[in-house]
Each structure stands twice: as C-alpha cells, then as structure tokens.
C-alpha cells in the first residue's frame, strides 16, 4: 500500500513536470479549440 502511494507520488511529480513543459502548447490548443467552438455556435 505504501509503495503504491509512493509510486503515485512520483507519477504526480512526472506529470507536473510534463505539464509544465506542455502547458503553453496546451493553452494554445485549448484557445484554438475554444475559438473553433465559438465559430460553431
């Protein structure tokens, strides 16, 4: 059980690092998706 929690903790750190690197790209993609969504309405 403790090992599982530790692995999840490490996974969270990795995810945060990846998100940090990708956050600007993701923001751009989200912005484009929102713009497209507004055009579709």
**Residue 40 clears pLDDT 80, i.e. is over it:** no
**Residue 38 clears pLDDT 70, i.e. is over it:** yes
pLDDT of residue 25: 73
pLDDT of residue 23: 66
Q: Where are the domains of the chain?
A: 1-41
Q: Which strand (E) or helix (H) includes residue 33? A: helix 2-40
Angstrom distances, CA of residue 24 to CA of 4, 6, 27: 31, 28, 5
Angstrom distances, CA of residue 36 to CA of 27, 39, 41: 14, 5, 9
Per DSSP, 1 falls in state -
Compute φ and ψ for 20, nearest 5 degrees: -60, -40
**pLDDT tens-place string over residues 3-33:** 888 888 888 888 777 767 666 676 777 788 7
């Amino acid at each position: 059980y403790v090992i599982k929690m530790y692995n999840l903790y490490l996974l969270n750190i990795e995810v945060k690092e990846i998100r940090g690197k990708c956050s600007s790209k993701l923001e751009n993609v989200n912005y484009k998706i929102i713009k497209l969504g507004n055009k579709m309405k």
